[in-house]
Structure 1
């Protein structure tokens, strides 16, 4: 999962403090692996340096001033490019796909279109693997089968998620 892209996606609806971004990240995506505070702030620093976020104000806190970050037009472009681009069809892709779907819903982008693009990328890769399976020796055929089974599971997840997008949007956008 790409932490910079997730933070950009979480910032798009409204400016937020680093602490709030970390909490939202953890509640949506970090159940098994929360985002460390240091990584959140260092990522925000790099995004600021690269012109993808800007400080939209600072408020006094118990320690250093609390910066409120806002996404810039360059950040929106980077986020849109990432959301639009299908991920390489590989095993264990669901967490990245899930992240893209949630961020698309949060920003009112076409999550179904992203799932359709990912489905097309998976089907293309499955055709390639099927050709390898048919033409190769048993060892290559078995490796191709292994990859095909994982891609089939991804396709089932994509279809299930597409069918439940409205329900997921209601849950996330409370």
Structure 2
């Protein structure tokens, strides 16, 4: 359900063509939040236009269409942003992996967690660079800058958690080794 809402948000910020929307999803938006390609964007724009959520504002070169959100589209994005569906099924592959770490041998669990720590550290550093660029261009609360800061903080939190988890597993493994050699 999020692709139409991502499109609405982008079109509320600024009317765009399908090509320009596709480019947004090829950048930071697609890399850090929601991936979508032109094969899903263009049909979704047509559905949204049929539903009255967006409208074609003008046609450009080679038949390109420029879209803007309608009042109904703005209302739909607002409704969706504030909606909390507590009955929906949760499917989060990363959280599932965290539940299953204890199924791994301690060495494998530590190796996995080191990979998590390295990845999240790298991602946090990359987002810090994005944030600096966005803040220099348009200020700290413009579209994308708040999301980048949110992502950076999430990556830093997971990075810290992974390092903590490595310490916990290492300490438990050391404790078990000491107990078995003392027997």
- Normalised to the residue count of structure 1, the TM-score between the two structures is 0.49
Q: Which has the higher contact order (CA 8 A, sep 6+)?
A: 1
Structure with higher helix content: 2
Larger Cα Rg: Structure 1 or Structure 2?
A: 2
